[in-house]
Structure 1
Amino acid sequence: MKKDKNRYTVFEHEALYVHRGEQKLSDAQLKAFQLFYKERDFPYYSLVHNGIRFCEYVGVIKVGNLTIEVLPKADKSNGEEHWRSILIDMMRSTGLFHPDSPSYSSLKVKNSTILDMYLELFATEVERLMHQGLIKKYRKTQSNSTALKGKLLIGKQVTLNAVHQEHFYIEHTVYDKEHLLHQILSKALTTVVKIGTASHLISRYKRVLLDFPEQRDIKVNESLFDKIKYDRKSQSYQTAVDIAKIILLNFHPDLSQGSSHVLALMFDMNALWEKFVLRSLQRNAPDGLEVSGQVSKDFWTPETGYTKKIRPDIVIRKNNEAVAVLDTKWKNIGDANPSDDDLRQLYAYSRYHNNVPSYLVYPGNENKSLSGMYSRAFVGDAQTPGGVIKLKVHSGKRDGMELLNQNISAILF
């Protein structure tokens, strides 16, 4: 990827500083990061002396005209292109991208940041919808009309038309292109143009907006998207609306200066790794085995207050009985043994599921498994196996996800 002075690439847990290092923050950029950290309580980075340090969140964060790509990294031997491909492959595998959408196959997925991919896919999806014809819906509207049609609103008629009795304040039904789906798409299109990101796409977005039917502005929150119900007529809108939701809910306008808007498309790498391993196992589990994620069980009940629960990342069952539990950790422990805390947590999961075999799943430099046993002093007469699985994450000409799926299957099944 061609270097851009307004685009930096870092790895998780790395830091950026003012006037220090190859990729420097300006005083204004640091101030913007400090402002949004204070006002929004962002979990994506922490403040350090004259700089910021990223954590386990990966993705893209844009502040003002600066775009920072944060990549995962589980070894020291691979560079940006490798880990960018890994991240995009993992997101595709877990459903954070829509590989089945009509527009997905045209994307240059190996040479784009996540933000570039989302914005290009969004523009392509909206263009596709416009080309096939935007749908119309019925909606109720109120107006002061010279024709009496629909329902006469007596209260407003008396208030507004006492003098002009030739007017009628009515409520009636119209069938047009102004409805929630289009309002969401219009808001997202306008937001992308406002923040000025993806300069190579801005003219394309402006053209789409010019041809898009004018919509009433709406206030965006999580509950707005809960109102959407797709049917046969509107199903083709789902990919575009899903991306619009990501853009709008992660956009944080600069209300003070208006020049340092923030768009943060960041994902918890621990959660992404867990979901990825879960999906890989579910796709490759032999007949008779059921793989479930985040199965809660009561762990401790106080005399008053809420019950504490225990929740292993992955439980494998046969005939409705647990046969193995897994806990995923996105960290490369190299040749070292797992930490005491990780082993204690795994033991608790195993113990609470009748001492079934348990495994810690880490990324690693190579595919490797390490077996072990919990002491009889803890588990009684029957020793319980507790192991470590290290998985090398692949990407390239072959689908890295399929390679990893095969590795998991070979070790566990």
Structure 2
Amino acid sequence: MNPALRAFEHTPVPITALPTATSLGLDEVERLEAVCLLRPGLCEFGRHSVRFAQYCGVLCIGERILEILPKIDRTDRTDRTDRGTADAAPAHDMLLRMLRVVHDLPSPPLGSGSHDLIRSPLIELFAGRFLAETMRLVKAGLLKSYVSRAENSATLRGRIDWPRHLRANAGRQDRAWCEFDELTHDVAVNRILVLALLHLRDWLVAPTSIRLWHELMAAFDGIAPARRDEIERLCLDRQSRRYAAALKWARWIIEGLSPSLRAGAATAPALLFDMNRLFERYVAIKLARQAPPGWAVECQHDDRHLARVLVGEQGSSPAYRLKPDLLVRRADRIVMIADTKWKRLERDRYGRVRPSTDDMYQLNAYATAFQECGELVLIYPCFDGLAADTLETTMRYELAGSSGSQSRRVHVAAVDLMDEVLRVRIGSSGDVLRRLAA
């Protein structure tokens, strides 16, 4: 397998006639353009470079894997391969940490020291999690189930299918068409894991992963790979629920490493994650887990509108539905409205952070619609030692026609993604967020 090409979000990757260790070849760019038709906004094409947006993960681009990582430092390092490799360690760690929380995946059972994170491509880390989860199932005992079978057998089993037997075995006494139930490992959940293992075969490099792959294939010997319709129809029951984490990785691997992608088909891969959505869900889950009793964190609350359309002389209908990312309640009272922003905060000359105009306009709409709530927060990721000398930033909306007591405070917060507990690293960010993310 050719080595993976590593890129960072919002950072340009050069385009050259032939692929190199740090650039995309023309054939790879054509495949990338085909994927962009189904995944709009994945990247922007320039004359001599490609700049990736907020999607992170892995993507097949022919004979190579392209891995796109979160950009967590402030410098462009596209011409420094050694530095880009070093930056991959915390980026890998952060992305995997967020995926574990949002998609309810277990903590990594394999070693995840910085040395391994620096040297391993992202597909190898994804594969390691899947292989380890699958090996855990093998050691605990693979699921078995009774499956109905029919065959022209020399031994009587179950019951004879007389119409079929008479058609196939007229005049023969050594054979009988039998229908019977057989207890077997060849069931849908195991077949899906086999299909994912086969997709991984060409992309593993680390000797540990290759050895584990061979051990698993031996454990699944005699089990056929799944068909597409089996994956789509699968529903887990009480017995198969322990397969949930492994099957989640398996589905991502099957979609992201599909052979049709390597052949150039325009299939949108499932191993790319929208960091805006991932960050929003990560913050919501963490705050909900840390919330005191009697508090609740809601996502995408959508029962308010910004305006009403006048209908006739007295009637009206709601328009411009508002969906704040996070809404925090204490009992029945809304105590905080928050929007998460997967963006890099910048400091002004006074050492304060300044959200963009669009971010402030959006929060102003929430302040207008949720006038019973006086605390609004913009939540950003904290990268790159930004918290060291940054001053707290709090602003105030003056609502038209309101007194000073009716003004709305806007707090700007940056949260640490490298800790098990979600903590505010910039600003006190108001009483509510301070209590939820101490």
TM-score normalized with structure 2 length:
0.76
Call closer, same or farther: CA 1:91–1:295 in 2, change over 3 Å.
same
Q: Distance in 2 between matches of 1:30 and 1:79?
A: 24
| 5+ residue gaps, structure 2 | 76-85, 312-316, 348-352
Code of the residue aligned with 2:281 in structure 1: it is K
Question: Which SS does the other structure have where 1:25 is aligned?
Answer: coil
| 5+ residue gaps, structure 1 | none
Q: Distance in 1 between matches of 2:319 and 2:158?
A: 55
- Correspondence list, 1:184-203, <5 A: 184-193=192-201, 195-200=202-207, 201-203=209-211
The answer to whether the 8 A contact 1:57-1:268 is kept is yes
Q: Distance in 1 between matches of 2:246 and 2:226?
A: 17
Q: CA deviation at 1:192?
A: 0.6
**Residue number in structure 1 paired with 2:334:** 322
Call closer, same or farther: CA 1:342–1:35 in 2, change over 3 Å.
closer
**Residue number in structure 2 paired with 1:360:** 378
Q: CA RMSD in A?
A: 3.7
- Correspondence list, 1:35-184, <5 A: 35-38=34-37, 40-41=38-39, 44-76=42-74, 79-95=87-103, 97-99=105-107, 104-108=108-112, 110=114, 111-112=116-117, 113-147=121-155, 149-153=157-161, 156-157=164-165, 160-161=167-168, 163=170, 166=173, 167-184=175-192
Of the three residues 314, 318, 322, the one matched with 1:310 is 322
Q: Distance in 2 between matches of 1:255 and 1:342?
A: 37
**Do residues 391 (structure 1) and 409 (structure 2) align?**
no
Call closer, same or farther: CA 1:22–1:134 in 2, change over 3 Å.
closer
Question: Which SS does the other structure have where 2:51 is aligned?
Answer: strand
**Do residues 295 (structure 1) and 296 (structure 2) align?**
no
Q: Distance in 1 between matches of 2:264 and 2:74?
A: 40
Code of the residue aligned with 2:340 in structure 1: it is T
Question: Which SS does the other structure have where 1:280 is aligned?
Answer: helix
Q: Distance in 1 between matches of 2:105 and 2:223?
A: 27
The answer to whether the 8 A contact 1:137-1:177 is kept is yes
**Do residues 241 (structure 1) and 247 (structure 2) align?**
yes
Q: CA deviation at 1:382?
A: 4.4
Code of the residue aligned with 1:386 in structure 2: it is R
The answer to whether the 8 A contact 1:314-1:325 is kept is yes
- Correspondence list, 1:330-341, <5 A: 330-335=342-347, 337-341=354-358
Q: Percent identity?
A: 22
How many residues were matched structurally? 397
**Residue number in structure 1 paired with 2:22:** 23
The answer to whether the 8 A contact 1:62-1:262 is kept is no
The answer to whether the 8 A contact 1:368-1:391 is kept is no
Question: Which SS does the other structure have where 2:395 is aligned?
Answer: coil
Q: CA deviation at 1:362?
A: 1.9
Call closer, same or farther: CA 1:88–1:268 in 2, change over 3 Å.
same
**Do residues 6 (structure 1) and 3 (structure 2) align?**
yes
CA offsets per residue over residues 318-350 of structure 1, 9 Å max, x none? 112211100011112313533332222212223
**Residue number in structure 1 paired with 2:359:** 342
The answer to whether the 8 A contact 2:340-2:379 is kept is yes
The answer to whether the 8 A contact 1:325-1:349 is kept is yes
